[in-house]
Amino acid sequence: MSGFRGPVRVFAGSAVAVAVAGAVAVVTHQPWLFPSLGPAVMLHLEKPRAPESSPRNTLIGHAVAIVAGYAFLLACGLANHPPVIQEGVTVPRVIAAAGSLAVTAVALLLLGASHPPAGATTLIVSLGLLRTPVQLLVMAGAVVLVTVVDWAFNRATGQDMPVWSVPVPQPEEARHG
């Protein structure tokens, strides 16, 4: 399988990761598929050596996002409300979304664990699309699952994807800007 290159490899890897998560969703009747998995899978396959694609950043990023999203859902009194697509946009929902995204972004910056798809994960939670503790555990499990599938697929197709990459130091001007 090491002959897979470029678009064919990305196509196949994306399909495999989402099909595996989807199969688990069908069997368990739980939300193992959600929007922010797509960008995470794409990063893993398109840029497997980039720090933001590393399993380290992926797992830390989504964990922080889930916690921040849920914390703001609770703080804004929205844990028992219907999701935004049913209830509509309210001031507390905007506060939850803005706050969770801001906290996620800053926390990941401070942790040196940039992973942009985590921004979607925190919004999924703070907007109430997935909000119960079981759903949040399933989200975390799905992130781990697709990360492992993508890592194995990249390795099987000859792409180096570090097991636990450390962040690349930023250029001097980026740290002071």
pLDDT tens profile 26-81: 999 999 999 999 999 999 999 999 999 999 999 999 999 999 999 999 999 999 99
> How many CB atoms within 10 Å of residue 134?
10
pLDDT in tens, 87-103: 999 999 999 999 999 99
Residue 166's pLDDT is what? 58
Position 176 pLDDT exceeds 80: no
Residues, the chain: 177
Q: How far apart are CA 70 and CA 128, in angstroms?
A: 9
Helix, strand, or coil (residue 36): coil
**Other CB atoms within 10 Å distance of the CB of residue 42:** 17
**What is the Cα gyration radius of the chain?**
17
Q: pLDDT-based confidence at 172, cuts 50/70/90?
A: low
Q: CB 88: neighbour CB atoms within 10 A?
A: 8
pLDDT at position 163: 79
Distance CA 30, CA 69 (A): 19
Q: Which pLDDT does position 177 carry in this prediction?
A: 46
Measured on CA atoms in the order 48, 45, 22, 73, is the torsion positive or negative? positive
SS3 category, 123: helix
Q: Which residues contact 92 (CB under 8 A, 6 or more apart)?
A: 76, 77, 78
- Tell me the CA distances in angstroms from 62 to 10, 54, 75, 89, 114, one per residue in order: 22, 12, 20, 24, 10
CA distance 4 to 45: 12
What the block records as the tokens of 92 is 């507390």
